[in-house]
Structure 1
Amino acid sequence: MSDPFKQADDTRKVLTAGEDAAGRLDAWLADALGGEYSRSRLKALIEQSAVLVNGTAVTEPKRKVHPGDAIEITLPEPEDPEPKGEDIPLEVLYEDNDLIVVVKPAGLVVHPAAGNWTGTLVNALIHHCGTSLSGIGGVRRPGIVHRLDKETSGVMVAAKNDAAHRHLSAQFADHGRSGPLERAYQAVVWGRPKQLRGTIDAALGRAGDRTKRAVKREESEDAREAITHYEVVERYGEKPDATCLASLVECELETGRTHQIRVHMAHIGHPLIGDPEYGAAFKTKANLLPERARAVVNSFHRQALHAFMLQFEHPTTGEVMRFEAHAPDDLETLLVALRAMN
């Protein structure tokens, strides 16, 4: 790629695409700026209308770059890399000198990152625990040994010192294969798997962007082993042919890949109700539901997934500790409406 002309100050850069310019805007910018900014950060800036192409704001990171394009990017003031404590309510299930167990609500991001520098679980933990959180997870992830998606609710544990962090992290890395770690989730899915109990063993990898995942062939370069065990525990709107409109499924993870349950359930034809990424094609199935259930489903704007149980070995005492969290109000309302169909 020929060198683009650059004019820069602290917050603004202007570039002109050369004769050989091509490809996505976010990727081109990352290359043109010499790695000064990550592609994920540039993507976020584009989505925030901070990039103009030929004088017009562009919000699609995949927008193609053409020779001669005049591209102007406005950079925000530098962020403070160290998160601050914020008085965000926490539901604490257990706490001692080594760790804290909380129930993360849906809608709360676990740790600061592009687009979510404040208002995260980490900010809440810093406010609650002060300086006692383990620093081994890094400046932006103090105490964090595992995570849940923003819109997934449920039980989480955080470490309050480095020894506890190492011990807990090792348990999560082992996925319970040689220890007592267990993670169980409730998922409300469309339809009903043919087998009421089974295992989904399907490798996962990236699906075109930084966060989305898809089932991949094992020989694919980015394929990672992913195993989910599931059991159907409730069925809603059951028909004479043994099919049903929706089901409550309990899932246990043998691995911990990004979006694992969501992708695996969609892979076998039963995506989670409310899942905007992997269940959008099933949205019209709500029309098959009775009026009350249809209204609740249509107003449920997140994946119906709740991490209801977490079990692990205490890093100091060796005691096996098990914690459960009841379904949050929105999920309970969904379950009540679906149960009324039976």
Structure 2
Amino acid sequence: MDRPIKGNRPPRKHQPKGLTILHEDRDILVVEKPSGLLTVGTDRDKSRTAHYLLNDYVRKGNPKSRNRAYVVHRLDRDTSGILLFAKSEQAKTFLQEHWEQTDKRYLAIVHGRLTPKEGKISTYLAENSAQRVYSTLDPARGKLSHTTYTVLKEARGFSLVEIHLLTGRKHQIRVHFAGKGHPVAGDRKYGNGDPASKRLALHARSISFTHPFSKKKMTFDTGMPEEFARLLGKM
């Protein structure tokens, strides 16, 4: 991967509340989302989202402004890490059309010790009426999904894992590791009920993509969240 760049950050006083802007230019916004914040609104919650906060930010408080943030991809509410937004329909279209070439790396703390220490998980993922994603062997029912991983550290029945997301399906990482018997710590939906972590121990650590207009390769890396370091310390 290319060396991470620091990006163009606005002064702290101009940052949107609840989000950290890693980079901003005329065409894109790269932000770090905390765990617990939705990417986009739902029927029940339209305002406490990354999308809402960034729309307000680019409009600079002027509701009549034509400026807006365009959603390129999403992270689960309880997953922290890097999100990429566009500032125009044209930029959004380019980034989404080149999404398969975008390199996405995650960090997770999972239950147990994985064998092998490096591997690839490939299953067809489907979703039931209760909005629960599951793996199936039937290609007619699900979408083929690939996740590769490397174990970085093991401690007291847990593993710190770096994950390379080759496809980006809903809840893919969580379902793949739960299916192997190693659910992500703090996963209330797919986990084993063990309250090892107050939050979902899944973080979108880095992203590498081609800028929609300059065509330069851009890479951002947030490293490991302090919460993970604390959790590993407790382990």
Report the TM-score when normalising by structure 2: 0.86
1:192 aligns with 113
CA shift, 1:332, in A, is: 2.7
1:198-246 CA deviation, whole Å, 9 max, x = no partner? Answer: 1001111013412x1000122443x111100111011113xxxxxxx11
Report 1:1-342 matches (<5 A): 88-130=17-59, 131-133=66-68, 142-172=69-99, 175-176=100-101, 181-210=102-131, 212-221=132-141, 223-237=142-156, 245-281=157-193, 283=194, 297=196, 300-338=197-235
Report the Cα distance in structure 2 between the residues aligned to 1:219 and 1:315, rounded to whole angstroms: 33
Name the amino acid aligned to 2:49.
T
Give the structure with the larger helix fraction.
1
Report the Cα distance in structure 1 between the residues aligned to 2:121 and 2:85, rounded to whole angstroms: 29
1:75-111 CA deviation, whole Å, 9 max, x = no partner? Answer: xxxxxxxxxxxx6332111100000100000010011
Name the amino acid aligned to 1:164.
A
Larger radius of gyration: 1
Name the amino acid aligned to 1:236.
A
Give the structure with the larger strand fraction.
2
Equivalent residue pairs, number: 215
Tell me, what secondary structure is at the counterpart of 1:102?
strand
Tell me, what secondary structure is at the counterpart of 2:98?
helix
Tell me, what secondary structure is at the counterpart of 1:107?
coil
Tell me, what secondary structure is at the counterpart of 2:97?
helix
Name the amino acid aligned to 1:115.
R
Relative to structure 2, which stretch is displaced further, 115-124 or 252-261? 115-124
Identity percentage over the alignment?
A: 33
Report the Cα distance in structure 2 between the residues aligned to 1:246 and 1:195, rounded to whole angstroms: 15
1:293-342 CA deviation, whole Å, 9 max, x = no partner? Answer: xxxx3xx223210000011000111111000113333323212222xxxx
Compared with structure 1, are the counterparts of its residues 127 and 203 closer, same or farther at alpha carbon in structure 2 (3 Å cutoff)? same
Any unmatched runs of 5+ in structure 2?
Answer: 1-15, 60-65
Name the amino acid aligned to 1:132.
N
- The answer to whether the 8 Å contact 2:124/2:139 transfers is no
Report the Cα distance in structure 2 between the residues aligned to 1:104 and 1:207, rounded to whole angstroms: 28
Compared with structure 1, are the counterparts of its residues 89 and 277 closer, same or farther at alpha carbon in structure 2 (3 Å cutoff)? closer
**Higher relative contact order structure (alpha carbons within 8 Å, sequence separation ≥ 6):** 2
Name the amino acid aligned to 1:214.
Y
RMSD: 1.7
Report the Cα distance in structure 2 between the residues aligned to 1:323 and 1:278, rounded to whole angstroms: 29
1:46 aligns with none
Tell me, what secondary structure is at the counterpart of 1:148?
coil
Report the Cα distance in structure 2 between the residues aligned to 1:128 and 1:302, rounded to whole angstroms: 27
- The answer to whether the 8 Å contact 1:276/1:302 transfers is no
